[in-house]
Amino acid sequence: MNSRIKSVDNLSFEGKKALVRVDFNVPLDGDFNVTDDTRIQAALPTINKILKDGGAVILMSHLGRPKEGPEDKFSLKHILLDLEKALDRPVKFAPDCVGDEAKQLAAGLKGGEVLLLENLRFYKEETKGDAEFAKQLASLGDIYVNDAFGTAHRAHASTAIVAEYFTDKVCGYLMLSELENADKVLGNPVRPFTAIMGGAKISDKILIIEKLMDKVDNLIIGGGMSYTFAKAKGGTIGDSLLEEDKMPLTLELVEKAKEKGVNLYLPLDNIISTDFANDAEQGTSKSGQIPDGWMGLDIGEETRTLFADVVKNSKTILWNGPMGVFEMSSFDKGTKAIADAVVDATKEGAFSLIGGGDSAAAVNKFGLGEDVSFVSTGGGALLEYMEGKELPGVKALEP
16/301 Cα distance (integer angstroms): 58
121: annotated active-site residue: no
Q: Which one of 60, 297, 354, 394 is in contact with ligand AMP (CB under 6 A)?
A: 297
361/366 Cα distance (integer angstroms): 9
Catalytic residue among 77, 135, 201, 233: 201
Cross-strand partners of 220: 196, 265
Residues binding ligand AMP: number (CB under 6 A): 16
- Cβ closer to ligand AMP: 223 or 288? 223
Residues in 238-277 that interact with ligand AMP by CB under 6 A: 241
65: annotated active-site residue: no
- Regarding 280 and contact with ligand AMP (CB under 6 A), the answer is no
HSE toward the beta carbon, residue 113, CA cutoff 13 A: 13
SS3 138: helix
Residues in 351-380 that interact with ligand AMP by CB under 6 A: 356, 358
Least CB distance from residue 236 to ligand AMP, whole Å?
Answer: 15
Least CB distance from residue 231 to ligand AMP, whole Å?
Answer: 13
62/97 Cα distance (integer angstroms): 10
Catalytic residue among 64, 112, 369, 380: 380
16: annotated active-site residue: no
SS3 105: helix
Q: Which one of 6, 201, 256, 315 is in contact with ligand AMP (CB under 6 A)?
A: 201
Q: Where are the beta strands (DSSP E) in 22-154?
A: 56-60, 92-94, 114-117, 143-146
- Regarding 296 and contact with ligand AMP (CB under 6 A), the answer is yes
Question: What are the φ/ψ torsions at residue 81 (nearest 5 degrees)?
Answer: -65, -40
- Cβ closer to ligand AMP: 163 or 325? 325
Helices (H), 314-390: 333-347, 357-365, 380-386
167/397 Cα distance (integer angstroms): 10
Q: Which one of 322, 355, 378, 393 is in contact with ligand AMP (CB under 6 A)?
A: 322
250/239 Cα distance (integer angstroms): 19
Cross-strand partners of 58: 19, 115
Least CB distance from residue 112 to ligand AMP, whole Å?
Answer: 40
Question: Which segment (15-23, 180-188, 195-203, 230-238) binds ligand AMP by CB under 6 A?
Answer: 195-203
39: annotated active-site residue: yes
Catalytic residue among 357, 365, 369, 395: 357
| CB 393 within 8 Å of CB 154 | yes
Catalytic residues: 39, 201, 357, 380
Can you give the binding site for ligand AMP, defined by CB under 6 A? 199-201, 204, 223-224, 241, 296-297, 321-322, 324-325, 327, 356, 358
